[in-house]
Amino acid sequence: MELILEEIIVYSSVILLCVTVVYLYLRGLKKESSANEKKVEKAKEEGLFEPVSLHPYIDLSTCIGSGACVAACPEKDILGIIDGKATVIMASNCIGHGACFHACPVEAISLRIGTESRGVELPHVNEKYETNIKGIYIAGELGGMGLIKNSVEQGEQAIDNIAKSKKPEKENVLDLLIIGAGPAGISASLKAKKYGLSCLTLEQDSLGGAVYTFPRAKIVMTSPMNLPLHGQVKLYNTSKDELIQLWQKVIAENNLNIQEYTKVESIIPLADNTFRITTNNQKEHLCNHVLLAIGRRGTPRKLNIPGEDSSKVAYRLIEAERINSKKIVVVGGGDSAIESALLLMENNEVTLSYRKEQFARLKIKNRDKILGAIENHQCNVLYKSNLLSINEDHVLIKTDGQENILKLENDLVYIFAGGELPTKFLEKAGIQISKRFGYIMKEHK
């Protein structure tokens, strides 16, 4: 009898323990779900809920709420769990790692660009990175994949496909011409070298492409990547300078043929299935294949105001540490404008002009830093304002709600109004472009 009583006590204790564990687990889930619901509401208020580029789309009918996607995402508060299902919280802060897509055990996540209401213009590219023009390929940001690691992988994979369709050699005709020496272009150049393809890479600016235009201290890599002919690059929190130094080292070691400050003016398909490439220095090149590894916003969007062509105006910040004791106006409210203003305000008097009434779609760290700087009077911000003209020693700014136009003493102006897709350049080569709504980015081969 005592033995039976002891067994009952043990079983009761086990059952009680299990019930307690389940109760605490469910209460934790409910608490987490409630916290994430509040985060979603806040994201909607701050304009961070809607995606602006590549982002995860979750099929709720398939999702099992494992949380694997949340754990895999390197960024904070992009994904969360609500009522046992995964949800996107701050979609506009997603930078397209794709880790969530690969981590989902039931394939409930797809990577998409554009939404049902907001389309994004994209060139037509098949699973082999080839456009509708046979022989012209696209890799990297132009095709919708802007993350450095993803661009590097795409550049390499595109060359794998080009190498399979290598044509017989012709005199004075290159196997491949790569346009753009950013992450995708450098990776592609290295892989072409590995295959023994005759290749020339042209870059309209400096080595690094869009990465070169980042402020010097900006962190541009947060995860390892593989570089052809070099191997695994295990760098975390890597600055622009460190990454470009690595590329310079790899390029020199492999004797790659990269020409900087050479802008391609046109890609002309010829009758013999080759291409004539014309450049701004009046040179022409013939090639069998073309890989476009350029950015989506290679041409800065201008304000079209008097004085914008002045030498005191710039559209990118490269070496903030060399600028001191200046009166500077930074135009824009995106991450590039905020990051530049934060760097410049350390040694200068900075006024930030933004056309909207509050910042939206900023990365959390940038938002917190700029709001703190404004509160501490390290930076003057003019919301709902527009630059009217740029003069030798001052600028004129119209602020909503003020009758008088502000006249500010000024030495330098930095404009971050985004950029324009090189639509005319692409269409001139025959590449089709269309606006995509909720377009699923497929895995390329």
Model pLDDT for residues 78-88, shown as the tens digit of each residue: 899 988 889 99
Q: Where are the alpha helices (DSSP H) in 308-377?
A: 335-344, 364-375
Say whether both 184 and 269 belong to one domain: yes
Q: Average pLDDT for residues 323-350, to the nearest whole number? A: 92
DSSP for 171-235? TTEEEEEEE--SHHHHHHHHHHHHHT--EEEE-SSSTTGGGGGS-TT-EEE-S-EEETTTEEE--
Model pLDDT for residues 274-311, shown as the tens digit of each residue: 999 999 988 899 999 999 998 776 567 889 999 998 88
Summary mean pLDDT of the chain: 84
DSSP code of residue 320: G
Residues 99, 92 contacting (CB under 8 angstroms): no
Residue 317 tokens, joined: 């910040």
For 38, the domain range is 2-113
Give pLDDT, residue 163.
Answer: 94
Say whether both 103 and 135 belong to one domain: no
DSSP code of residue 17: H
CATH code of the domain in which 310 resides: 3.50.50.60
Query: Would you tell me how many other CB atoms lie within 10 Å of the CB of residue 400?
Result: 11
Residue 221 has pLDDT above 70, yes or no: no
Higher pLDDT, 281 or 380: 380
End position of a domain, from candidates 113, 145, 162: 113
Task: For tokens 């041409």, name the residue.
Answer: 299
Share of the chain above pLDDT 70, in %: 86
Whole-angstrom Cα distance, residue 269 to residue 263?
Answer: 18
Say whether both 84 and 198 belong to one domain: no
Q: For residue 52, which of 120, 125, 132 has the smallest C-alpha distance?
A: 120
Radius of gyration of the chain (CA): 26
Say whether both 306 and 371 belong to one domain: yes
Higher pLDDT, 225 or 255: 255
Write phi, then psi, for 6 (nearest 5 degrees): -65, -40
Whole-angstrom Cα distance, residue 117 to residue 169?
Answer: 48
Whole-angstrom Cα distance, residue 158 to residue 145?
Answer: 13
Residue 445 has pLDDT above 50, yes or no: no
pLDDT band at 229 (very low <50, low <70, confident <90, very high): confident
Say whether both 317 and 406 belong to one domain: yes
118 assigned to some structural domain = no
- For the chain, the domain total comes to 3
Give pLDDT, residue 138.
Answer: 93
Instruction: Identify the bridge partners of residue 353 per DSSP, sorted by sequence position.
Output: 331, 382
Task: Report the SS3 class of residue 282.
Answer: coil
How many CA atoms within 13 Å lie on the side-chain side of 353?
24
Say whether both 259 and 144 belong to one domain: yes
Say whether both 369 and 229 belong to one domain: no
Q: Average pLDDT for residues 210-224, to the nearest whole number? A: 58
Say whether both 406 and 323 belong to one domain: yes
Residue 215 has pLDDT above 60, yes or no: no
Q: For residue 329, which of 403, 216, 419, 407 has the smallest C-alpha distance?
A: 407
Angle at 229 between CA 226 and CA 234, to 5 degrees: 30
pLDDT band at 236 (very low <50, low <70, confident <90, very high): low
Residue 427 has pLDDT above 60, yes or no: yes
Model pLDDT for residues 306-325, shown as the tens digit of each residue: 999 888 998 888 778 889 99
Residue 144 has pLDDT above 80, yes or no: no
pLDDT band at 375 (very low <50, low <70, confident <90, very high): very high
Contacts of 96 (CB under 8 A, 6+ apart): 53, 54, 55, 111, 145, 146, 147, 150
Give pLDDT, residue 77.
Answer: 85
Say whether both 186 and 226 belong to one domain: yes
End position of a domain, from candidates 113, 131, 154: 113
90 assigned to some structural domain = yes
Residue 175 has pLDDT above 90, yes or no: yes
Model pLDDT for residues 5-58, shown as the tens digit of each residue: 666 666 667 777 777 766 666 676 688 888 888 888 888 877 778 887 778 899
Share of the chain above pLDDT 90, in %: 37
Write phi, then psi, for 195 (nearest 5 degrees): -80, -10
Whole-angstrom Cα distance, residue 63 to residue 275?
Answer: 47
**Model confidence, pTM:** 0.71
How many CA atoms within 13 Å lie on the side-chain side of 21?
6
